[in-house]
Structure 1
Amino acid sequence: MSWRPTYRSSKFRNVYGKVANREHCFDGIPITKNVHDNHFCAVNSKFLGVVTESAGGGSFIVIPLSQAGRLDSHYPKVCGHQGNVLDIKWNPFFENIIASCSEDTSVSDPQPLFYINILIWNLETGEPVKMIDCHTDVILSMSFNTDGSLLATSCKDKKLRVLEPRSGRVLQVTFLSPSN
């Protein structure tokens, strides 16, 4: 019996990409270098948001997807943070709402109605609903599931927690270990 490696053949082996025409591309966008491990852009079915380089605080730009091509160097920027913008996300339910977070520990939308620290908020009223206080150190990352019923957080104490955001109850705690 001879040894032969078995490889699964890909059904995409004869598929080739095609470069988009220049009129369908976005050009001249000053993309930031300060987002570290976060995304520098966010897109939905209407808009493209890109974190940009700026002096004296953080900013990002919002471009309608129908406006492809070269971007004017004086294109308006969304400003409002004292520190660099770290991440931006579109509201999954209302396509015209975008939120940004910054090194100045604030989260806001382009016309800030309120600033958010680590609290669970009612976004319609701008009122805090619940303070999550089960962490022993700085929260590094957090993410809701698609319907908002669960919240996962990672903390500097090397623990991953799954919570019910409305009650603040911790459902599960897992110790994070480095990949080897």
Structure 2
Amino acid sequence: VNFGARVNTRQILSLCTGRSMYRFKSSKYKNATPKVPKKGEGWVLDISVGAPQSFGNHIKASALHKVFSVDNRGGGSLGVLPLDDAGKKSRNCPLLHAHSEFITDFEFCPYDDGLLATCSHDATIKIWRIPDGGVVPNVPQNSELVLQPGKSRIENLSFNPAVDCLLAAATDTALQIWDLVNQSELGTNLKHNELVQSLSWRGDGNQLVSSGRDKKLRVWDPRAPSESLHAPGHANNRDSRVLWLGNTDYILSTGLGSAREREVCLRDVRRFDIPCTSWSGDSAMGLPDGSRFDICCGSHVLREANGRGLCNVHLLLLLLLLLLLLLLLLLLHLCILENYVSLFMCRKIFVHSNEHDC
């Protein structure tokens, strides 16, 4: 319906109600603009995190709390702060003394912002209730549930995003699915040939993907007796991470190549054996270089792969080569100038000697 030349607007109206109809719902982020925080704004300072000893996560947040690994009592404690808390926490950081040995991974329940699952080298999984006001310093906390899958240490865990109280855990080379309500393990046979390094659920909770030290990526359906899909992973088995991109058919994995260069691969489970696209960076282990990836799950597109830090390194090398070239040209110019001066002096001496003879 055109409402005249003066009002340059077109609307689609319902014949039944006469109300305006919209085909697409406008995004609440349509007019969002980034805000760059000032230095120190929102930072948590002076915390001792130590050196991670596992492939799991070492910092997590819910809508109420943020939790991170700390170097305390053999690595069996976590720092717990309200989400908006900041500042120096060197001596007064509230700690959750969760395990007797190093905590390998932890995750918040997607349905409860105060429910935290932790696993450790002590071969136990514990479920904790964090109060809304946070953990009170120097007050012991009791776990709500303790699971002991076996004698092997537990490396990773992940809550099912669709089914409440369903938890996946990676114990050595096997994946286990636990029902937290009945405190029982569901009968599954999900195994890698070597240590499991990472796992991630699909958005609908029906499948999960894992990566292991056997350099394989495997897709599992917990209801099936064996793996659904498998594909070669990254060539180096030092570390790898895998992430199922929401409820799409795309899986993102990171790891190291044969020359220890960093790799990122995007795969489609419908053609799982060959990556849709991949990116390789430099081999600087653990050094931040400004490289950035933007993932858009809704449009199934890897929007940006910007190796800005790598470009900076290449630019620096190019500048060094240019400086060396200029230095060589300068030396060559000096040598030519020196030869020219020597030739001129010899010629002058020769002319002077001839005049003297005459």
The interval holding the TM-score normalised by the smaller chain is 0.7 to 0.9
CA distance in 1 between counterparts of 2:190 and 2:37 reads: 50
- Aligned match for 1:143, one of 200, 222, 230: 200
Query: Which residue type is aligned with residue 155 of structure 1?
Result: G
Asked if 1:124 is matched to 2:142, the reply is no
Q: Gaps spanning 5+ residues in structure 2: where?
A: 1-33, 129-142, 150-174, 236-256, 259-358
Structure 2 counterpart of 1:158: 215
Contact 1:130 1:168 in 2 (8 A): no
Contact 2:78 2:98 in 1 (8 A): no
Say which SS state the counterpart of residue 114 (structure 1) adopts: strand
Asked if 1:83 is matched to 2:83, the reply is no
Say which SS state the counterpart of residue 97 (structure 1) adopts: strand
Contact 1:35 1:87 in 2 (8 A): no
**Offset at 1:177?**
3.8
Asked if 1:31 is matched to 2:49, the reply is yes
Say which SS state the counterpart of residue 147 (structure 2) adopts: coil
Tell me the alpha carbon deviations over residues 97-130 of structure 1, each in whole angstroms, 9 at most, x when there is no partner.
1122223343322315122544211122221112
CA distance in 2 between counterparts of 1:112 and 1:32 reads: 27
Contact 1:120 1:132 in 2 (8 A): no
**Offset at 1:89?**
1.6
- Aligned match for 1:17, one of 23, 26, 36: 36
Q: Which has the higher contact order (CA 8 A, sep 6+)?
A: 1
Asked if 1:174 is matched to 2:231, the reply is yes
RMSD after superposition:
2.7
**Offset at 1:34?**
1.9
Report how many residues are paired.
165
Tell me the alpha carbon deviations over residues 58-109 of structure 1, each in whole angstroms, 9 at most, x when there is no partner.
1102111243333361443222323211222211221111122223343322
- Aligned match for 2:88, one of 61, 70, 74: 70
Relative to the length of structure 2, the TM-score reads 0.41
Query: Which residue type is aligned with residue 123 of structure 1?
Result: L
Query: Which residue type is aligned with residue 106 of structure 1?
Result: T
Distance 1:58 1:168, change over 3 A: farther
Distance 1:77 1:166, change over 3 A: farther
Distance 1:80 1:166, change over 3 A: farther
Q: Percent of aligned positions with the same letter in both sequences? A: 22
Tell me the alpha carbon deviations over residues 3-25 of structure 1, each in whole angstroms, 9 at most, x when there is no partner.
xxxxxxxxxxxx88341565x43
CA distance in 2 between counterparts of 1:73 and 1:125 reads: 40
Distance 1:167 1:82, change over 3 A: farther
Relative to the length of structure 1, the TM-score reads 0.75
CA distance in 2 between counterparts of 1:89 and 1:157 reads: 25
Contact 1:121 1:130 in 2 (8 A): no
Query: Which residue type is aligned with residue 93 of structure 1?
Result: Y
Structure 2 counterpart of 1:50: 68
Asked if 1:113 is matched to 2:145, the reply is yes
Contact 1:38 1:87 in 2 (8 A): yes
More helix by share: 2
CA distance in 2 between counterparts of 1:68 and 1:19 reads: 13
Contact 2:103 2:120 in 1 (8 A): yes
Q: Which has more radius of gyration?
A: 2
CA distance in 1 between counterparts of 2:118 and 2:188 reads: 20
Tell me the alpha carbon deviations over residues 29-67 of structure 1, each in whole angstroms, 9 at most, x when there is no partner.
322322555442111221110110012451102111243
Query: Which residue type is aligned with residue 101 of structure 1?
Result: C
Contact 1:34 1:84 in 2 (8 A): no
Tell me the alpha carbon deviations over residues 118-175 of structure 1, each in whole angstroms, 9 at most, x when there is no partner.
4211122221112334433332222212232111122332221100123343110112
Asked if 1:98 is matched to 2:98, the reply is no
Contact 2:211 2:218 in 1 (8 A): yes
Distance 1:134 1:86, change over 3 A: closer
